[in-house]
A and B are shown apart, each in its own frame.
Chain A
Amino acid sequence: MTRHRVGAHTIEFGNRPRIVSSAAVVGPKEGRGPLSALFDLALDDPLYGQSSYEQAECAIFQEACSRCLKKAKAEPEQVQAMLGGDLLNQIMAASLAARQLEIPFLGLYGACSTMAEALLLGAILADGGYADPVLCAAGSHYCTAERQYRFPLEYGNQRTPAAQWTVTGAGACLVSAEGPALARISLATVGQIKDMGIKDANNMGAAMAPAAADTLIHHFLDTGRKASDYDKIITGDLGRVGGSLLEELMEQAGFALPEEKHMDCGLCVFDPKEDVHAGGSGCGCSASVLSAMILPRLKSGEWKRVLFMATGALLSTTTSQQGESIPGVAHALVLEGGEGN
């Protein structure tokens, strides 16, 4: 018997768990971007004083977690669960960060949707009283993603106009049933895998857009809401191509998503003058933008209610080379802010 459900895909949180603190640590390119002033720390050096980019990714992940806990004045030993993941094989950055933090750890993989997946599960744990507080985090690093999915950094390859640039950065949020809130989580829609046969690993936006549309349609059907019920519908990293595909798919499905209601983290994280083609991507993209920009705006009351929907292209280089298409997934959370928390 399920008690906390609305419709087929959506969870309703009775106690509306709170995001009590958040932190974002990013790399130099992100630090030069339009959100520059909002990040807790923007690094000058993508190696972050480490001897490999993998170690740097782990250190960035850990720094975001530590800063998030510090802002909530919480010690790692008080945190009852840590949920998180990244893009590395075997989600090593998150695991190595959890090794340092010594918090009970549940590793997650949802590609670039990991932050929404972590928050969704964290909210369930906190709302149900199974763990409180819960640390949710996700991160990525351009240099580690390039070598794992594409080419060595110094190799002079070409990028297509639809290609996206992996964000170097991590975001962390502390979720609790009580305490002063940046925002509260009222609903969550769990996405199903959608695969419309896209095989081009340089067009992840196109691989993810059908999943985003599917989750959004299910969310609207389950809740009876529409785009106008939200101040913003925020997607993770659909980028320029995926973003317009989502708007087109929503239009076709009869649930209009006007351009001014739609915001994509991948399109706001980098300076448009940078050579990032269709925008930013990676677990760290939605995680850092959520932590640095979305949650503060909800707290200040600038936005009352947003739908945060991180999208993931579940790409594996092995199955991709074997000719398999790229499955996409998207999870959505309703974040309520403003006064009257």
Chain B
Amino acid sequence: MQEKKENNAQNKFARERYAALVKRMTPKSAFGQGCFRAFWVGGLICVLGQALADGAHAWLGLSSAASLTFASVALIFLTAFLTGIGVFDRIARYAGAGTLVPTTGFANAMVAPAMEFKPEGWIMGTGVRLFSIAGPVLVYGISASAAVGILYYFIRW
């Protein structure tokens, strides 16, 4: 019993020491570079979105609300198209959060599994796995908005 306890303590010590060694020897992600790339690519996507909205308002005669919807739909289409031809993942690998945060990240998270799991069939493949990445975002996003909605019903601010 005593011996086992000592062994456990030794194991724990060895693991902690190893974890420290691993931390020291594992290269870190380039934080500054990541931020910079995310900023300019993400910013560019947002500028494009704004341009699409303004353009739709000015030239297609859409109302301001409809023009915003138009911009979202256009960006989603563009992402789906780029994902389909196998280009989006390369842009995303460069841009990181720059493509993840706008609508583009969500569209990519839907289209990529739809393509990936097609060999398993429309039902068990694409149908079942479609939400494998975006699912958690929907579950917790919708749950959170419902919770806030209930709260807002009682406490008006």
Residues of A within 8 A of B (CB): 51-52, 54, 147, 151-162, 196-198, 203, 206, 210, 241, 244-245, 248, 275
**B61 beta carbon closer than 8 Å to chain A:** no
Stretch at the interface among B14-22, B49-57, B140-148: B14-22
A198 engages B22 (CB within 8 Å):
yes
State which of A147, A157, A161 has its C-beta within 8 Å of the C-beta of B26.
A161
- In the complex formed, the residue of A with least CB distance to B114 is A152
Q: How many A-B residue pairs have CB under 8 A?
A: 87
Taking the closest CB of chain A, its distance from the CB of B111, in whole angstroms, is: 7
State which of A154, A161, A162, A241 has its C-beta within 8 Å of the C-beta of B86.
A154
A153 engages B18 (CB within 8 Å):
no
Question: Could you tell me the distance between the alpha carbons of A154 and B28 in the complex, rounded to whole angstroms?
Answer: 25
B119 engages A154 (CB within 8 Å):
no
Question: Could you tell me the distance between the alpha carbons of A157 and B100 in the complex, rounded to whole angstroms?
Answer: 9
State which of A51, A153, A159 has its C-beta within 8 Å of the C-beta of B119.
A51
Stretch at the interface among B2-10, B66-74, B88-96, B149-157: B88-96
Main secondary structure of the interface of B (DSSP, over half): helix
With A152-B133, A154-B89, A156-B108 given, is the CB distance from A161 to B29 under 8 Å? yes
State which of A147, A206, A244, A245 has its C-beta within 8 Å of the C-beta of B116.
A147
- In the complex formed, the residue of A with least CB distance to B132 is A152
- In the complex formed, the residue of B with least CB distance to A156 is B92
Q: In the assembled complex, which residues on chain B have CB atoms less than 8 Å from the CB atom of A197?
A: 15, 18-19
- In the complex formed, the residue of A with least CB distance to B18 is A196
State which of B14, B22, B116 has its C-beta within 8 Å of the C-beta of A154.
B116
Question: Could you tell me the distance between the alpha carbons of A198 and B26 in the complex, rounded to whole angstroms?
Answer: 12
A155 engages B109 (CB within 8 Å):
yes
- In the complex formed, the residue of B with least CB distance to A154 is B112
- In the complex formed, the residue of B with least CB distance to A55 is B119
B22 engages A158 (CB within 8 Å):
no
- In the complex formed, the residue of B with least CB distance to A278 is B27
Q: In the assembled complex, which residues on chain A have CB atoms less than 8 Å from the CB atom of B119?
A: 51-52, 54
Q: In the assembled complex, which residues on chain A have CB atoms less than 8 Å from the CB atom of B19?
A: 196-198
A210 engages B18 (CB within 8 Å):
yes
A155 engages B21 (CB within 8 Å):
no
**B42 beta carbon closer than 8 Å to chain A:** no
A155 engages B112 (CB within 8 Å):
yes
Taking the closest CB of chain B, its distance from the CB of A31, in whole angstroms, is: 19
- In the complex formed, the residue of A with least CB distance to B119 is A52
Q: In the assembled complex, which residues on chain B have CB atoms less than 8 Å from the CB atom of A203?
A: 22, 26
A152 engages B93 (CB within 8 Å):
no
Question: Could you tell me the distance between the alpha carbons of A158 and B117 in the complex, rounded to whole angstroms?
Answer: 20
A154 engages B21 (CB within 8 Å):
no
With A51-B119, A248-B21 given, is the CB distance from A158 to B93 under 8 Å? yes
Q: In the assembled complex, which residues on chain B have CB atoms less than 8 Å from the CB atom of A157?
A: 89, 92-93
Question: Could you tell me the distance between the alpha carbons of A162 and B23 in the complex, rounded to whole angstroms?
Answer: 11
B93 engages A159 (CB within 8 Å):
yes
With A153-B89, A154-B83, A156-B92 given, is the CB distance from A245 to B21 under 8 Å? yes
Q: In the assembled complex, which residues on chain A have CB atoms less than 8 Å from the CB atom of B113?
A: 152, 155
